[in-house]
Amino acid sequence: MRSSNPGASFLGALLLAGCAEPWPAPPAVDPDVLAVEHAEWRDFRRGRLVEPPGGAVIWLGLWALPEGEVAFGADSALPITIPHTAAPALAGTLHRTGSVVSLTPARDAELTLEDGTPITGPIVLGDDRSDDPTTFGIGALGLRVHAEGGTDRLWLRAWDEEHPARETFELPPYFPVDEAWVVTARFDPYSEVRPLRVPDVTGGLVEYQARGELVFRKDDREHRLIATAGDASTRFFVMLWDSTAVRDTYQGGRYLQVDFPDEAGWTTIDFNRTYNAPCVFTPYSVCALPPRENWLSVAVTAGEKRPDAAGYQGPEVTRQ
């Protein structure tokens, strides 16, 4: 059952009052200005996709970390084989106990921290969802423990800071920028934060904090999207699926970020900025798939398409 903020609150009263009024139009936008701003956003997005450590295009591997010890290095006989010329045959051993992962470097492995400090003995590694994540590696090879919300699974992630794709990568095609896909949305907050568990492309589950629902109108109908945000978030994160996934966009759905609402509970959704999940560009990702509640009945002919077949790296996902 969907719920909204109780009308007794000031915000709730504003929202209820807003429902009875004509749906507000989105802020006026010049099509030329929209096109320029979209091009700038695409440049920023491309830069993020090739920038270490978060750039999915330059990731080299993702290995699940079991309880106990696991050795890693370039030796193909090891449980974790690092495909990088900078990796020694044996780089070290990772020790996992619950949520704690420590590293013991191999002798003469020359592992260093991100600031260049040599790792000469055992250290505890902070994962990339912690307040103090630990990045380490050798030369252009970067390494870090990866975690996801709502699961105790952990992984070792590797990337190449000198990956040739940093210079050659191009974004996939986009639908033409269209001001008709810049729409006003009403935010219906939940009375309390709800855990939202969704499947990921590895076959597991990840968890987000659902704050409420964004309600927008398109083709004379109202549509809803569950909006998530962490405690430190500055915008909503939305996962959605629509019928363009059959032919034009990623089969598993796309992502979107939306500004928090104003004091009256309204915000603007720019579907031109709908974008692909990291797993479209790499097999070394743990991508969340949209909850069924966010499967839209309207075809969102806006935003990022799936790459051409020659450059498509993501898994084929069939919606059930």
Whether 219 and 81 share a structural domain? no
pLDDT score for 21? 56
pLDDT band at 268 (very low <50, low <70, confident <90, very high): very high
* Three-state secondary structure of the chain: CCCCCCCCCHHHHHHHHHHHCCCCCCCCCCHHHHHHHHHHHHHHHHHHHHCCCCCHHHEEEEEECCCEEEEEECCCCCCEECCCCCCCCCCEEEEEECCEEEEEECCCCCCEECCCCECCCCEEECCCCCCCCCCEEECCEEEEEEECCCCCCEEEEEEECCCCHHHHCCCCCECCCCHHHEEEEEEEEEEEEEEEEEEECCCCEEEEEEEEEEEEEECCEEEEEEEECCCCCCEEEEEEECHHHHCCCCCCCEEEEEECCCCCCEEEEEHHHCECCHHHCCCCCCCECCCHHHECCCCCCCCECCCCHHHCCCCCCCCC
Whether the pLDDT of residue 14 is over 60: the answer is no
| Parent domain of 14 | 10-51+171-311
Same domain, 244 and 99: no
pLDDT in the model for residue 27: 87
The whole-number pLDDT of residue 93 equals: 98
Confidence of residue 89 (pLDDT cuts 50, 70, 90): very high
Taking the model in full, what pTM does it have?
0.88
Examine the fold and report which residue of 96, 127, 160 is the final residue of a domain before the chain moves on. 160
**Do 44 and 186 lie in a common domain?**
yes
Question: Are 90 and 156 in the same domain?
Answer: yes
Name the average pLDDT for the chain. 91
The answer to whether residue 63 scores a pLDDT higher than 70 is yes
> Is 73's pLDDT higher than 50?
yes
Percentage of the chain modeled with pLDDT above 90? 87
Instruction: For residue 108, give the CATH number of its domain.
Output: 2.60.200.20
For the chain, what is the domain count? 2
pLDDT at 16 over 60: no
Q: Are residues 16 and 61 in the same domain?
A: no
> Do 101 and 178 lie in a common domain?
no
Identify the residue with better confidence: 243 or 1.
243
pLDDT at 286 > cutoff 70: yes
Predicted confidence band of residue 318 (pLDDT cuts 50, 70, 90): very low
| Residue 188 placed within a domain | yes
The whole-number pLDDT of residue 312 equals: 58
Confidence of residue 110 (pLDDT cuts 50, 70, 90): very high
Tell me: do 44 and 79 sit in the same domain. Answer: no
pLDDT at 4: 41
Last residue of a domain, one of 98, 133, 160: 160
Specify whether 26 is located in the same domain as 116. no
pLDDT at 64 over 90: yes
Residues 235, 108, single domain; the answer is: no
For residues 76 and 152, membership in a common domain is answered with yes
Domain assignment present for residue 28? The answer is: yes
pLDDT score recorded for residue 36: 97
- 182-204 pLDDT, tens digit per residue, is 999 999 999 999 999 999 999 99
